[in-house]
Structure 1
Amino acid sequence: MSQNNNNTKTPNPSNPSSLKPRYEIRTLEPKHAQWAIAIVIHCNLFHSPVWPVLYPENINARTFKGFDNAEYLVMHQINSGHSFGVFDTEYQFKREESKASGGKLYWDRNEKSVQEEKGFEAEGQRLLEQMDFPLVSIALSYDGADPFDLEKMMPLLGVLPHFGPLYHVLEVLDPREKDSWAPKTHGEVLMRNATATRHDYEGEKIMAGLARFLMREADARGFRGIQIECVHDAVAHVWSNPPAPYKGSDVSEFHTGTYKDEEGNLFFAPAQQKITKVYVDLKPKASD
């Protein structure tokens, strides 16, 4: 599918995006970390096809536990220099304080949740309205030669108990010999981990435009491939069907509704979602 890539508001103007003119892609910096964490946590806990189904109760407490423990996940990738965000240059601030500072997050763990009184969706909307900043979508990445420190990831894995097992199942089902794709040094394989767009900006084709920009940017930086684990059909579709000359492959997958653990239990029930690990070959001609 051809893309109308004429938006030059990107970190690399020679690699324009297909996003609407109001949107700008920027390299994420540590100053954006809190905003990025809020987007990751809110998007996953309130609007993912998996996590809200598995964890519908006490969502406010889980949101703040997630926020408290996602800093390492986000900062490891921001510090890599390979993580990007989409900013709305026409964003309308809700509060004067936010406008003066360029944006602000107003989450307060001492405020009462409205879930019990008004429901799950109302609590999600309350927290969304407190995200008064122009960052609207993120694509976090890190160099595969600098993997996550599992010990530092453990607090977040405790907030989302199915998160670790989900990745483990994809790893077990991956038929590839690791030497056939894994990086041996820096600048070979980019690992994507955390795709999230604010709920009030869904339907703008932001995720797809940012993803395709990132494929071209990684290619220009010398990477030969990108790997991403997808827990959403739209994300899987974009990465499995990259623009030419790139080639996407579903290297492993399972369905949460049918997967059974060693004891025969439907471990991810009642979620109903195909989980996919995708590898995008950025240099297919060189590897043929």
Structure 2
Amino acid sequence: MRSIWKGAITFGLVNVPVKVYSATEDHDVALHQVHDHDGGRIRYQRRCETCGQVVDYEHIDKAWDDGEQRVILTEPELASLPAARAREIEVVEFVPSDQLDPIMYEHTYYLEPEGMSTKAYVLLRRTLHATSRTAIVRFALRQKTRLGALRVRGDVLVLQGLLWGDEVRSADFAVLATPVSVSDRELELSGVLVESFEKDFTPDEFSDDYQVQLRALIAGKLDRGEARTVHALDASADAPAGGDVLDLMEALRRSVDESRRRSSGAG
């Protein structure tokens, strides 16, 4: 695997440099659109609505508009925002793991300790496991500020992106507001049916039948010589974690003292 970026988990004065890797990958067969007459690849052009010219990526900026006014935002302007440059996975709070609703989960990343940070990494992992807690964190990736859950998976710390609260829609279905009567016998029979399907979940037992059949279809056409030759026209920073390195025990002591001072002040 190749790391996406390098950063550091920070909580209190503790700093844990890590490498971030995408934990999942898409197994779908990539398909292209082609002309049914001659098999030529169909490509989309980035054409400007104002001048009609095809525009190279180097001349494309982003913009916001409300239908009447348009504000153009250049890449240097977006890159200058503090959140876009952040290389910290900042721990905001530690919460009971069972409080997280799976509907909020997004993409998952593996975190690998970097350099001499293994002890602090293992300490954080063991602490999360022993306390049944998940760390709620803030981080930035691809010029977006994100909310995340830092949790344990086996021997690895996993960073899982979370949706922001206002990104989860309410399911206010009127039909569910009407009372429904369910008898004890119906509930009992439903329970029996569930028990008949009970089993421990083993992901490797399941396969994507459509993709398996699609690969077989492609292989069959190749074997029968039904492939066309692709013509030439069809072919197509690491940042330092930063900061002075403190002794791990000293960083923990200072962080606990600071947390207690804040708690006392709030009281």
Could you say which TM-score interval applies, normalised by the shorter chain?
under 0.3
Give the structure with the larger helix fraction.
Answer: 1
Output the TM-score relative to the length of structure 2.
0.23
Output the TM-score relative to the length of structure 1.
0.22
Higher relative contact order (CA 8 A, sep 6+): 2
Give the structure with the larger strand fraction.
Answer: 2
